[in-house]
Amino acid sequence: DQQVKQNSPSLSVQEGRISILNCDYTNSMFDYFLWYKKYPAEGPTFLISISSIKDKNEDGRFTVFLNKSAKHLSLHIVPSQPGDSAVYFCAASRRDGQNFVFGPGTRLSVLP
Amino acid sequence: DTEVTQTPKHLVMGMTNKKSLKCEQHMGHRAMYWYKQKAKKPPELMFVYSYEKLSINESVPSRFSPECPNSSLLNLHLHALQPEDSALYLCASSREGGMNTEAFFGQGTRLTVV
């Protein structure tokens, strides 16, 4: 049973437009959420995180929104750039860092 | 230095071989992890070494064994692997024990078992 779901395996967006990547979770014990980006032949790199006491966290072009009642979070990238093309993993954990789970990933392609 | 260094980058081994993967970080992080990633799948946690204590994902077979010689190094010993163990093996570290803080990943070791 997948505790963290990313229902879109892939997403294509035009350069300059907004990319929205979605993530759903089932475990109500999760209260810390992270996004990682992964290029081919490299390890994942941390992008942005949000704790359950917030509903929004922003860092430059990246914003993560959390809707706890819906158990849903999303990553917004605006404006999208070709260098953002990568696989994006949503991840979740409990506050103590235990039970850390990655979602299956969404491959984002930003077209010039 | 914000790097996690993994060696080797690529490894091909036979099913009767014994090999080791190495992982090193000099960020003073107290937790280190081994993940296994198959193609088009998310990374799956294998082992956590946090504050000198080892935690094991019980689904990981005993042909994989971690070793932590010191707080900067985490090795993964491989013995009698199967072809289905071929995957990308990722090492990560985090400042605190728990992946609810930013984790730094190495570039991975691409392992092929023949």
Q: Which residue of B has its CA nearest to A97?
A: B98
Residue to substitute from B100, B101, B104, B109, interface A, most A β-carbons within 10 A: B100
Candidates A17, A1, A7, A29; CA nearest to A109 is A17
Per-residue CA distances from B35 to A65, A102, B11, B109 (Å): 27, 11, 16, 11
The pLDDT tens digits of the residues spanning B43-90 come to: 999 998 988 888 888 889 999 999 999 889 999 999 999 999 999 999
Mean pLDDT of B21-32: 93
pLDDT band at A8 (very low <50, low <70, confident <90, very high): very high
Cβ-count burial B40-66 (b if 16+ within 10 Å, e if not): eebbbbbbbbbeeeeeeeeebeeebeb
* Cβ <8 Å between B105 and A44: yes
* Cβ <8 Å between A46 and B45: no
Q: Which of A38-42, B69-73, B84-88, B105-109 has the lowest mean pLDDT?
A: A38-42
pLDDT at B1: 60
Distance CA A45, CA B99 (A): 13
* Cβ <8 Å between A94 and B104: no
Distance from the Cα of B59 to chain A's closest Cα (Å) equals 14
The pLDDT tens digits of the residues spanning A63-94 come to: 999 999 999 999 999 999 999 999 999 999 88
